[in-house]
Structure 1
Amino acid sequence: MSGELLINVTPSETRVALIENGVLQEMHVERESKRGLVGNIYLGKIIRVLPGMQAAFVDINLEKAAFLHASDIHTRLMTNQESNEPEQVPDIRSLVHEGQNIVVQVVKDPLGTKGARLTTDITIASRYLVLMPNASHAGISQRIEDVAERVRLKNIVTPYCDDDHGFIVRTAADGAGEVELKHDAEFLRRLWTKVLERKQRKQTKAPIYQDLSLAFRVIRDFFGTDLERIRIDSKLAYQELEEFTAEFVPELGKVLEYYPGERPIFDMFDVEAEVQRALDRKIELKSGGYLIVDQTEAMTTIDINTGAFVGHRNLEETIFSTNVEATQAIARQLRLRNLGGIIIIDFIDMESEEHKRRVLHSLEVAMAKDKVKFSIHGFSSLGLVEMTRKRTRESLEHILCGECAACKGRGQLKTVETVSFEILREIVRVNRAYDADQFIVYASIPVSESLIDDEYHHLAELEVFIGKQIKVQTEPMYNQEQFDVVMM
């Protein structure tokens, strides 16, 4: 399988597209305004110690001083593993003093009048591992429940630990190979060496480690993947990535390229059009069938329909062919849209158990290309396929789209007729509650036209019923459901 990364960089946004065999498979988007401070490491200075609060304020060159509690200061004296008694937090004055330089990491962004929350228990994450410079052991994520897998992962990672480097194996490492874990461990150790070098320079103006931006994270996460080319359309970003790969992942330096073309980089593989299609509910299949994808708070549902595909044999073969084709499209859409959590797939009903088995196998093969952990649970008693896919980041829809101001996320608007009748009822309600001489109705263009034309006889009957004049005023800026009833 041939893979290529396209990286589009602008001052406000970075977008990364993974192309496999000429087709967009994954899309990653990061906006500069949404990047926080969590994960950044600073060489800070204690500017005030507050014994009553068991805390200290630390200057890390932000607008507000950051907050460091005594319980967030790492020290072996505070850990008593042999005792079941609660840990006793030492007096803050025995841990730090004013004017002291201290290496800290942001665990919570500044909020309102509060400064950032800090810890001295430093951790640096990669794709599969988390480095703990203050530890010397290997830990396994509790979410990896399989005992044999936990033992396998611990046996792989333990040799990389020493007195100054401990590791936690992340949930994403479930099923990861020895080579990938080795790459991650080496990457993190090299990264921590660079952090220590920057600490020795005693720089306080900028972070000594900043959580990687999208372009760097993608380079890190795809380390070990067979990529033919990585193209970047920003000269500055290319130079930064060139330095980064030379230091940490030299194996990727040979596939890194600067793209100077006049044609936008995302036009090369029709990426922009593919992203637009990934926001649609309906996905067309080559055979004429189609999928309907609905993302809700609780789950994602996918419905398959034959559409215009009538087949050349019997109905059962037509249904089977459509379902098999749909499995490839589903696997691609889950990756491209980054849909996670519970996923319910409503394949077209099949009578044959053999067909069901082959459709499930086709789905499993198509999903095998996905690096995100997933689980397929087969057909339920209702004929639905239930599966889960780990949530790794916001879905493409949640990043690129917001709630519709008109429908408030329902995906539907009340009809003109429904809104017209709501207005008539509102006039009656207001008339009973208040004393008015006449009413003016402000409504959208289609609703006001309906009241003046189609519903004119109802409006006239209401005027006679309440004995007051009703005027209709068009408000072009109103959406279809908006209206106001004003008393005069």
Structure 2
Amino acid sequence: MANKCKRGILISKTPYEKRIAIMEDGELAELVVEGVSSNRVLGNIYKGVVQKVLPALKAAFIDIGLEKAGFLHQEDAMDRNELLRREYGDDDDEGDASKEISIDEILQEGQEIMVQVVKEPISTKGARLTTHLSFAGRFLVCMPGTNFVGVSKRERDPVKRREFKKVVRRLKGRDVGYIVRTNGLNESEFEINKQMRELESKWEQTKYNFETMPPETCIYEESDSIEQTVREYFGDNTDYVYIDNRDEYFALRDYLKVLSPDKLDKVKLWSSSESLFEYFKIENDYARSLQRQVPLPRGGNLVIEQTEALVSIDVNTGPKVHGKDQGKIILETNLDACHEIAKQLRLRDVGGLIIIDFIDMETDEDREAVYQEFRKAIRRDKAPISPAPISQFGLMEVTRKRVRVNLMTEKTECCPVCNGSGRIATLESTLGMIDRWLARAHTKGRLREVTLVVSAPVIDVLCKDLNRMFNYLEYKHNIKISLVEDEYAHINQFWMYDKNNEDITDLYNFA
């Protein structure tokens, strides 16, 4: 079973980044990497101001003081009780279905509102917000504004579920709901009650901050990534937690003295001269998680491409796939790919729509075998993930919930040369762009003199055959051109300066 694996947690902190690795049965399963400049907002609660209400989109934009306004969907602004019943409902929870109303009946522009970040801002998108606040503890999730009580789906016994709910209802405060998490299923009533008081205290402080603090400010800050990881993953099946930073080690011990004092002996300060991640042989996995191409055991590979709309994963065979065993080799490669894809989705924290292009298989039986293998491979993934059966074209559609910023976005940035396309203009295209720039500058700017700064390959072409191309441009546009080489420029880059040495490139560019 997925929850029976042996787990370890490795925490490494340097002056420039923090890395947290989750190990399962001796292999790297998940990785959280944060730069020191990362401004994490996931889980934070803000006193926001409604900026714009858009009934046609069933959404509103909320100013919470960040660079981009947050996005609040209508469903996240409505009464949460019916949503909770659908998700965790049991036989003893009764209630009428909520009548859907328009978002402009709930919110008005300029209104102050308490919202929580449920998805980090990424790329051009602001943070995803909800009014359904929650405070997560190790055993419980506290949900202000509702009296709903639910129990983790891992507990399937209806009698035990009712007993849990009876205890929680007796202990909880007014207008506060709870979900008993998997970690809390074996805890005593004393521990459950203790955590309730802690979570409800956080809620009371947050309400006070909302009343007293100015708009567009954070009124509750979620725990840092180390505390969150320990809260989510540090269970009875955790064998060890190693930390290579002394300050973080003592901070975590202080945190565990309150959370789980009985597990303090599992937390160790890493003192070896060998790097923590190197010792556990996960540096290679980390490096591969940032690469476009990932090798498979039998010589094939995955090619992972991230776009604005989706993530595509192409499965390729090795160099020799011929003969009567071709179908068998293709099936084995696709089966290998299932496990590597499941691993990469967790490591990179890939979310949204994912399209997997498996190698074409001839029979429905093979396609079904690969589909079932993939379902088996994703069992340990804690993120909600839904694969669809493989189509006749060999494609599988997968949706996976993204919560934090994925690894590729966190640790890489858009190439300034190709602007993220992965391709640059050819040398001939660059010459064409220079030609068109000069034509526009001559027509609109009446320029008579310009300095052209380009790379060495462009200068070589311009000056080839006794300056044939260079003389052509000067004669055609009636502009005197001074050439300057920039050794750091790429072949698709050029800059133009006027006689006062001012950059005028953008004045006459076409894009």
Does the TM-score normalized on the shorter chain lie above 0.5?
Answer: yes
Aligned to 1:164: 173
1:252 aligned partner = 263
Per-residue deviation, 1:12: 5.5
Question: Which residue of the other structure, out of 371, 388, 406, is the alignment partner of 1:377?
Answer: 388
Match for residue 48 of structure 1?
Answer: none
Q: Could you tell me which residue of structure 2 aligns to residue 25 of structure 1?
A: 29
Note the alpha carbon deviations across 1:265-317, whole angstroms, 9 max, x for none.
Answer: 12123333322221111111121111100111211110011132437852211
Q: Does 1:330 align with 2:341?
A: yes
Query: Does the CA-based 8 Å contact 2:133-2:143 persist in structure 1?
Result: yes
1:16 is the counterpart of 2:20: yes
Q: Deviations over 1:305-361 (max 9, x none)?
A: 113243785221121111111111101000000001111100010011111111111
The answer on 1:212 being equivalent to 2:223 is: yes
How big is the shift at 1:15? 1.6
Check whether the contact 2:360–2:393 (CA below 8 A) recurs between aligned residues: no
Asked whether 1:421 is paired with 2:427, we answer: no
Q: For 1:94-243, list aligned pairs within 5 A.
A: 123-126=134-137, 129-132=140-143, 136-138=147-149, 155=162, 158-159=165-166, 160-162=168-170, 163-164=172-173, 166-169=176-179, 179=185, 188-189=195-196, 191-192=198-199, 211-224=222-235, 226-243=237-254
CA distance in 2, matches of 1:398, 1:296: 11
Amino acid at match of 1:164: G
2:299 counterpart (271, 274, 288): 288
Q: CA deviation at 1:263?
A: 2.0
> Given residue 323 of structure 1, which amino acid in structure 2 is its aligned partner?
N
3-state SS of 1:432 partner: helix
SS in 2 for 1:161: helix
Secondary structure in structure 2 of the residue aligned to 1:228:
strand
Among 334, 345, 357, the alignment partner of 1:346 is 357
Aligned AA (1:365): K
What number of residue pairs does the alignment pair up? Answer: 413
What amino acid maps onto 1:158 in structure 2? K
Q: CA RMSD in A?
A: 4.6
Q: 1:215 to 1:353 in 2, by over 3 A?
A: same
Partners of 1:328 and 1:363 within 8 A in 2 = yes
Task: Give the Cα separation in 2 of the matches to 1:152 and 1:297.
Answer: 47
Q: Is the 8 A contact 1:138 1:154 kept in 2?
A: no
1:397 aligns to 2:408 (yes or no)? yes
Cα separation, partners in 2 of 1:38 and 1:282, compared to 1, 3 Å: closer
User: Which ranges in structure 2 are unaligned for 5 or more consecutive residues?
Assistant: 47-94, 100-104, 107-113, 118-131, 207-211, 213-217, 500-511
Q: CA deviation at 1:136?
A: 4.7
Q: How far has the Cα of 1:221 moved from its partner?
A: 0.1
Contact 2:151 2:164 in 1 (8 A): no
1:167 is paired with a residue whose SS is strand
Structure 2 counterpart SS, 1:131: strand
The one-character-per-residue Cα deviations of 1:7-35 (angstroms, maximum 9, x if unpaired) are 01245643201123433221112345444
Could you tell me which residue of structure 2 aligns to residue 2 of structure 1? 6
Question: 1:290 corresponds to which letter in structure 2?
Answer: N
Alpha-carbon distance between aligned partners in 1 of 2:460 and 2:481, rounded to the nearest angstrom: 14
Distance of 1:325 and 1:410 partners within structure 2 = 29
Q: Mark the CA change 1:156 to 1:195 in structure 2 (over 3 Å): closer, same or farther.
A: same
| TM-score relative to the length of structure 1 | 0.71
Q: Is the 8 A contact 1:157 1:167 kept in 2?
A: no
Shift, 1:177, TM fit: 8.4
Q: Contact 1:190–1:248 (CA<8 Å) still a contact in 2?
A: no
Q: Deviations over 1:129-188 (max 9, x none)?
A: 5314776542699xx9xxx99x99974763323442733449xx7xx6873899995674
Letter in 2 for 1:125: A
CA contact (8 A) 2:302 2:314 kept: yes
Mean Cα deviation higher: 377-386 or 431-440: 431-440
Identity rate, percent: 29
Matches of 2:401 and 2:138 in 1, distance apart?
14
Judging changes above 3 Å, is the alpha-carbon distance between structure 1 residues 408 and 416 closer, same or farther for their aligned structure 2 residues? same
- TM (norm. structure 2) is 0.68
Runs of at least 5 residues in structure 1 that lack an aligned partner in the other structure: 43-80, 88-104, 109-120
Partner of 2:494: 483
Residue 154 to residue 29, structure 1, CA distance change in 2 (3 Å): farther
Q: Closer, same or farther in 2 for the Cα pair 1:288/1:450, shift >3 Å?
A: farther
Closer/same/farther in 2, CA of residues 454 and 419 from structure 1, 3 Å limit: farther
Equivalent residues in 2 for 1:406-417, closer than 5 Å: 406-417=417-428
The 8 Å contact of residues 449 and 481 in structure 2, kept in 1 or not, is answered as yes
